[in-house]
Amino acid sequence: MRITDVRTAVIAGNFDWVLVRIETDAGITGLGEAYWGAGVDEIVHRLRPGLIGQNPFNVALLYEKMVREMSGAGSLAGATVTAISGVEIALWDLVGRALKTPISTLFGGRFRDKIRIYADCHAGREHTPAAYAEKARQVVAKGYTAIKFDLDVENPHTRDISDDPDPRRPWYEPYNRTISTAERAYMVSLVAAVREAVPPEIMVAMDCHWKYNVPDAIKLAQDLEPYDLLWLEDPVPPENVDAQAKVSASTRTPICTGENLYRKHGYRELIEQQAASIIAPDIPKMGGLLEAKKVADHADTYYIPIAPHNVASPIGTVAAAHVCAAMSNFLVLEFHAQDVPWWDDLVQGEGPLIRDGYIALSDKPGHGLELNEDVARAHLKPGTAFFGDGR
């Protein structure tokens, strides 16, 4: 079997979902997805000539070939790795379909048939304890057993000093990475409200989006210890593993990070320094399914769980779920599209993919999903082609 074409379709979801279709001379196709990013679909087209004529079964070789071909253009990290991830996922789907085998079987089989999903939650524009509590109750009522909220939000104490220089009012500076005492107390009140709104068995995580300095992150994490969070995500910027390690070692609150890292090399220091309690690779961004499995196995030698970051369409999400099934140390997978009512409609099927907070994996070949082309066309990113051939 030989690859005859590589095509893309960019769907305008809550992020751009860059779908990648690989075609073969056997008539079998594979469908993958890359994380959003400027130029990602363009990079997939740059990869196309090196893929045409190749044997799609040699997924690891083709991954390495793409990384090496693009090394000068930036395959250490960033959009190039993201584009490669979309191709890689399409190749695994193709191989699964050719062998009539689910992707999870290709990765060693399943530790679990149902993948626990956590709901990323937004409580509207009002970042009040009451709004957070209400949203938490709504989402748990849908059956989710794990939820996440943003903690680095505007609140009565996060008034930008450049907009409101009255020193008698609460203020903050947006770039100096500090958390004021009042701001920290407000953040704790948000967590307390969510924790009290849902039963104790519901797992609650909080995200800080890389905002704070080390001592303030430690104070925040320690003040949150009574709430037994599933994790506190990205309290400090992602570049400095020594800083991550210091925060992680200073608190009982588990620290989660990893969505900004790429390829197995990007995770090496984080894992080997045990600088995070939980690692969150974004699978359609960091290198794809096999690279994520390698990171998970490396993390498992330090008994570190994996909780993949995920903002994908059903294609990227379910492909990720297949490799999550094959990771012994999988914890929970993100769902970030609660506000996209047609998320399920993008693929053919009967009803929602996520039921009672889980994705139940099918035994269909590949990832098992078929694109609903009418819905995909209806939400095509303006100005882009629907699986047009290499431009």
To Mg ion, the closest distance from the beta carbon of 50 in angstroms equals: 33
The pair of structure tokens assigned to 130 is 């009451």
For Mg ion, the closer of residues 29 and 253 by Cβ is 253
Site for Mg ion in 204-263 (CB under 5 A): 207, 233
For Mg ion, the closer of residues 207 and 216 by Cβ is 207
Taking 3-state DSSP, the helix, strand and coil percentages for the chain, each rounded to the nearest 5, stand at: 40, 20, 45
Listed residue (81, 166, 163, 152) closest to 122, CA to CA: 152
To Mg ion, the closest distance from the beta carbon of 234 in angstroms equals: 6
For Mg ion, the closer of residues 88 and 207 by Cβ is 207
Listed residue (308, 306, 304, 326) closest to 316, CA to CA: 308
How far out from the chain centre does Cα 50 lie?
Answer: 28
For Mg ion, the closer of residues 63 and 231 by Cβ is 231
Backbone angles phi, psi at 380, to 5 degrees: -60, 140
Q: Does 152 bind Mg ion (CB under 5 A)?
A: no
Listed residue (335, 342, 276, 264) closest to 303, CA to CA: 276
Question: Which amino acid is located at 390 in the chain?
Answer: G
To Mg ion, the closest distance from the beta carbon of 210 in angstroms equals: 8
Output DSSP code: residue 93: H
Using Cβ positions, the residue closest to Mg ion within the complex turns out to be 207
**What mask of x and - would describe binding to Mg ion in positions 169 to 208, judged by CB under 5 A?**
--------------------------------------x-
For Mg ion, the closer of residues 183 and 233 by Cβ is 233
To Mg ion, the closest distance from the beta carbon of 233 in angstroms equals: 5
To Mg ion, the closest distance from the beta carbon of 202 in angstroms equals: 19
For Mg ion, the closer of residues 158 and 257 by Cβ is 257
The pair of structure tokens assigned to 300 is 């498992």
Residue corresponding to tokens 């094959």: 326
For Mg ion, the closer of residues 32 and 235 by Cβ is 235
To Mg ion, the closest distance from the beta carbon of 39 in angstroms equals: 22
Strand partners, 131: none
Q: Which residues of 353-374 are buried (b: 16+ CB within 10 A; e: fewer)?
A: bbeebbbebbeebbbbbebbee
Cα–Cα distance, 221 to 321 (Å, whole number): 30
To Mg ion, the closest distance from the beta carbon of 274 in angstroms equals: 20
User: Which stretches of the chain bind Mg ion, using CB under 5 A?
Assistant: 207, 233
